[in-house]
């Protein structure tokens, strides 16, 4: 049953991806210690793995910029989110371009359904984080070398999901 849920989680996340714009990753977290801080640190390590993949795709467009953020920098950028807000932002990042308002990657109704399913698979006790700043109403802590990025990450303490949208204007 656990393996089936992990497989479904990976399939759902792949549905939200878009070439060189929306990157996704999911899987199992390494064992965590130190409670929620340990979970957050382990999740930041997984975000870092996705950032390294993204960097390979964007390296030629990011000349003169530093490489991907360290796991510590990612961890510092993560702000906690309520599950319903995380689902909303994940759906929005998968559907709509951060750079060009009105330009889309997928139908919002489709991304809404997939994002809701991702949250269901992680369960009601999942923890969610983002680089979204609710006070500024924008993604404010850059975790990539790109001009724009938005990050949503969630975990139930054992499995995780990460979605990052990037773009240049």
Q: What is the mean pLDDT of residues 58-85?
A: 80
Q: Which pTM was predicted?
A: 0.92
Q: What is the mean pLDDT of residues 87-112?
A: 94
Distance in angstroms (rounded) separating the CA atoms of residues 23 and 94: 9
Q: What mean pLDDT is reported for the chain?
A: 88
pLDDT band at 143 (very low <50, low <70, confident <90, very high): confident
Check residue 62 and give its pLDDT.
55
Check residue 169 and give its pLDDT.
72
Task: State the Cα torsion 48-50-53-59 to the nearest 10°.
Answer: -60
Q: What is the mean pLDDT of residues 123-143?
A: 86
Single out the residue of 100, 89, 83, 95 nearest to residue 138, CA to CA: 89
Burial class (CB in 10 A: 0-12, 13-18, 19+), 10: middle
Q: What is the mean pLDDT of residues 157-165?
A: 95
Is the pLDDT confidence value at 65 over 70?
Answer: no
Model pLDDT for residues 3-60, shown as the tens digit of each residue: 787 899 999 999 999 998 999 999 999 777 778 888 999 999 999 999 888 888 876 6
Structure-block tokens of residue 4: 């089936």
Model pLDDT for residues 103-113, shown as the tens digit of each residue: 999 999 999 99
Distance in angstroms (rounded) separating the CA atoms of residues 126 and 86: 11
* Cβ proximity of 86 and 130 under 8 Å: yes
């Amino acid at each position: 049953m656990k393996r089936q849920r992990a497989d479904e989680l990976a399939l759902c996340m792949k549905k939200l991806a878009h070439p060189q714009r929306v990157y996704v990753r999911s899987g199992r977290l390494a064992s965590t210690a130190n409670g929620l801080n340990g979970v957050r640190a382990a999740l930041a390590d997984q975000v870092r793995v996705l950032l390294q993949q993204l960097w390979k795709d964007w390296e030629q467009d990011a000349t003169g910029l530093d490489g991907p953020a360290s796991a510590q920098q990612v961890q510092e950028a993560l702000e906690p989110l309520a599950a319903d807000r995380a689902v909303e932002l994940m759906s929005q990042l998968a559907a709509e371009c951060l750079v060009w308002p009105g330009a889309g990657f997928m139908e919002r109704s489709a991304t809404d359904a997939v994002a809701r399913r991702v949250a269901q698979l992680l369960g009601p006790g999942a923890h969610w984080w983002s680089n979204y700043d609710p006070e500024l109403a924008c993604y404010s802590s850059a975790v990539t070398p790109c001009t724009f990025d938005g990050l949503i990450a969630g975990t139930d303490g054992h499995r995780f999901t990460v979605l990052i949208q990037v773009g240049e204007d």
